[in-house]
A = this chain, B = another copy of it.
Amino acid sequence: MIKVGIIGATGYAGQELVRIITQHPDAELVTLTSQSYAGKAYEDVYSNYRHLSYICQEEDIEKMADMCDVIFLALPHGVASKKITDDILNKVKIIDLGADFRLQDIDTYEKWYTTHYSKNILPEAIYGLCEINRDKIKNKRIVANPGCYTTCSILSMYPLVKEGIIDNSSIIIDAKSGATGAGRGLSLPNHYCELNESVKAYKIASHRHTPEIEEQLSYAAGENIVINFTPHLIPMDRGILATCYANLNNKYTYEDIKSVYEKHYGNEYFIRLTKEGTFPETKWVKGSNFTDIGFAIDERTNRIIVIGAIDNLFKGAAGQAVQNMNILFGLDEKTGIDFVPIFPA
Query: Residues on A close to B: CB < 8 A?
Result: 12, 15, 19, 22-23, 46-52, 169, 172, 174, 176, 178-180, 182, 184, 186-188, 190-202, 204-205, 226-228, 230, 232, 234-239, 241, 243, 245, 269, 272, 274, 278-288, 290, 292, 296-298, 300-301, 303, 305, 307, 338-345
Q: Which residue of B lies closest to A46 (CB)?
A: B343
Cβ-defined contact, A186 with B184, below 8 A: no
A283 to B192, CA, bound (A): 13
Cβ-defined contact, A305 with B198, below 8 A: no
Q: Which residue of B lies closest to A247 (CB)?
A: B170
Which of A182, A197, A236, A287 has most B Cβ within 10 Å? A197
Q: Within the complex, which residue of B176, B196, B234 is in contact with A179, where a contact is CB–CB below 8 Å?
A: B196
Q: Which residue of B lies closest to A314 (CB)?
A: B342
A188 to B185, CA, bound (A): 8
Cβ-defined contact, A51 with B342, below 8 A: no
Q: Which residue of B lies closest to A15 (CB)?
A: B343
A179 to B196, CA, bound (A): 10
8 contacts between A and B (CB under 8 A): A47-B281, A48-B343, A192-B194, A193-B237, A198-B283, A200-B281, A237-B344, A237-B345
Cβ-defined contact, A19 with B192, below 8 A: no
Q: Which residue of B lies closest to A305 (CB)?
A: B204
**Residues of B contacting A232 with CB < 8 Å?**
176, 241, 243
Cβ-defined contact, B237 with A234, below 8 A: no
Cβ-defined contact, B239 with A199, below 8 A: yes
Cβ-defined contact, B344 with A47, below 8 A: no
A26 CB, min distance to chain B CBs, angstroms: 14
Q: Within the complex, which residue of B180, B186, B236 is in contact with A235, where a contact is CB–CB below 8 Å?
A: B236
Cβ-defined contact, A226 with B301, below 8 A: yes
**Residues of B contacting A52 with CB < 8 Å?**
340
Cβ-defined contact, A238 with B344, below 8 A: yes
Cβ-defined contact, A303 with B228, below 8 A: yes
A169 to B303, CA, bound (A): 11
Cβ-defined contact, B296 with A204, below 8 A: yes
Cβ-defined contact, B46 with A279, below 8 A: no
Cβ-defined contact, B22 with A279, below 8 A: no
**Residues of B contacting A305 with CB < 8 Å?**
201, 204-205, 228, 230
Q: A186-B187, A192-B195, A290-B50 are in contact. Are A279 and B200 (CB under 8 A)?
A: yes
A80 CB, min distance to chain B CBs, angstroms: 24
A202 to B243, CA, bound (A): 11
Q: A47-B284, A191-B186, A284-B50 are in contact. Are A279 and B345 (CB under 8 A)?
A: no
**Residues of B contacting A243 with CB < 8 Å?**
174, 201, 230, 232
**Residues of B contacting A241 with CB < 8 Å?**
199-201, 232
